[in-house]
Amino acid sequence: MLSKRVSHIKPAPTLALTAKVNYLKSQGVDVIGFGAGEPDFDTPEFVKEACIRALKEGKTKYSPSAGILPLREALSEKLLKENGVEYKPSEIVVTAGAKMALYLVFTAILEEGDEVLLPSPYWVTYPEQILLCGAKPKEIMLSEEKQFVLTAEDILPHITRRTKALVLNSPSNPTGAVIPEGEMRKIADLCLKHRIFIISDECYEAFVYDNEKFVSPASLSKEIREITFTVNAFSKTYSMTGWRIGYVACPEKFSKIIADLNSQTISNATTFAQYGALEALKNPESKKFIQTMHNAFQRRRDLAYELLNRIPNVSVAKPKGAFYIFPNLSFYSAKLGSDLALAEFLLEKGNVAVVPGSAFGREGYIRISYCVSEDILEEGIHRIEKTLSFL
């Protein structure tokens, strides 16, 4: 018999969709895939070369469970310089991607029956990991009319004596919403008042548009830093999704436990991949690479927003960050009974793959990743418009 904790678990729909798209393409089907949450840019050559160099130098053995010291030192420097928050290397743990960092944080702080506040729409993995730890995700429904931006006012009615943590993801996957600094401060102060941990997923920090400002909640005050777990990865910023290098920064009383959990699960993140990550932080060419991606994603965001607004009976909040757009197609999904049926219809009839909004906690929407060229983006949205016209 399987344990009750795993009986509910589902495969990640975004990865399942990507696998299906790749299979159809291998069969010669002309499918446009808007499902993958990864940049279409290759990992920088200087990062690859650093990894190859590490392999050739024999850096293929176990590393400390918290990660190699030079990488943690570089991350400490990065967090101070770019995020405005001071973490010692001993307060940083390198993990097998941000997904693992989040799971280790949840494992470290959650007890059976605890509640975790989860703004919705949310990234698909959050509720699954919370449930695996025996806790309960408590959704905070966000409004499209307010651009899906979380406020302290949204949070307050959901706080109970069982509330243990709040998950923040700004910029957001799947909506691209960015929490303004003033509102972030109100949210952090509320968590401080009610002794609620903040788990800040900052994987999309490099992709913020329209003069919006990225804010790390841990930078707001020393007191807020003490209740915050800052989670990030190299996957999006440096187009290193398959490398599986993430990290969490937090007070040492927690980082020590998280490093021990790392040692008892995966031992350590892949050693030679850590040297590639170190090069990504240190190489001066990285800034140019990130800016190139940022500029491309902003152009694609503008194009996707413009094209989706032309489709009858579709509404869409303009994303301020990340590389996703989350249009409301409830008019059409209602005709088919669900957004899952709509996604299947778009794939079968239009050869375009999207992720249904219900995977992110919001029925009637779809998530489009604009990690494709502008030509493909335009053709894909044209296919969506044409296919919807048959309903």
pLDDT tens by residue, 197-254: 999 999 999 999 999 999 999 999 999 999 999 999 999 999 999 999 999 999 999 9
What pLDDT was estimated at residue 27?
A: 83
> How far is it, in rounded angstroms, from Cα 317 to Cα 308?
10
Residue 341 DSSP code: H
pLDDT digits (tens, 9 = 90+) for 100-126: 999 999 999 999 999 999 999 999 999
Count Cα neighbours of 286 within 13 Å in the Cβ-side half-sphere.
19
Spatial contact of 106 and 135, defined as CB atoms under 8 Å apart: yes
Spatial contact of 116 and 168, defined as CB atoms under 8 Å apart: no
Spatial contact of 164 and 116, defined as CB atoms under 8 Å apart: yes
> How far is it, in rounded angstroms, from Cα 336 to Cα 356?
13
Crossing angle (nearest 10°) for helices 45-56 and 271-282: 140
pLDDT digits (tens, 9 = 90+) for 333-383: 999 999 999 999 999 899 999 999 999 999 999 999 999 999 999 999 999
Q: Could you name the CATH architecture of 4-43+287-388?
A: Alpha-Beta Complex (3.90)
3-state secondary structure of 191: helix
What pLDDT was estimated at residue 11?
A: 72
Spatial contact of 152 and 190, defined as CB atoms under 8 Å apart: yes
Write down the CATH number for the domain with range 46-283.
3.40.640.10
Alpha carbon separation from 309 to 130, 171, 329 (Å, rounded): 36, 22, 11
What pLDDT was estimated at residue 15?
A: 67
pLDDT digits (tens, 9 = 90+) for 256-278: 999 999 999 999 999 999 999 99
Q: How far is CA 89 from the centre of its chain?
A: 24
The segment(s) of the chain belonging to CATH 3.40.640.10 are 46-283
Query: The tokens of 295 are what?
Result: 């500029």
Residue 19 pLDDT level (bands cut at 50, 70, 90) = confident
Question: How much is the mean pLDDT over the chain?
Answer: 96
Residue 13 has pLDDT above 70, yes or no: no
Give CA angle at 256 (281, 172), nearest 5°: 50
Which helix (H) or strand (E) is 298 found in, with range? helix 285-309
Residue 47 has pLDDT above 70, yes or no: yes
Residue 21 pLDDT level (bands cut at 50, 70, 90) = confident
> How far is it, in rounded angstroms, from Cα 280 to Cα 247?
14
Residue 17 has pLDDT above 80, yes or no: no
Would you tell me how many other CB atoms lie within 10 Å of the CB of residue 62? Answer: 9
What pLDDT was estimated at residue 142?
A: 98
Give CA angle at 238 (68, 274), nearest 5°: 15
Sheet holding 92-95, edge to edge: 92-95, 246-249, 228-233, 197-201, 163-169, 115-120, 136-141
What pLDDT was estimated at residue 188?
A: 98
Query: The tokens of 222 are what?
Result: 């020393």
Residue 28 has pLDDT above 90, yes or no: no
Pairing between β-strand 163-169 and β-strand 136-141 as defined by DSSP bridges: unpaired
pLDDT digits (tens, 9 = 90+) for 122-141: 999 999 999 999 999 999 99
The segment(s) of the chain belonging to CATH 3.90.1150.10 are 4-43+287-388
What pLDDT was estimated at residue 354?
A: 95
95 closest CA partner among 303, 353, 274, 341 = 274
Would you tell me how many other CB atoms lie within 10 Å of the CB of residue 125? Answer: 16
Average pLDDT over residues 66-89: 98
pLDDT digits (tens, 9 = 90+) for 288-345: 999 999 999 999 999 999 999 999 999 999 999 999 999 999 999 999 999 999 999 9
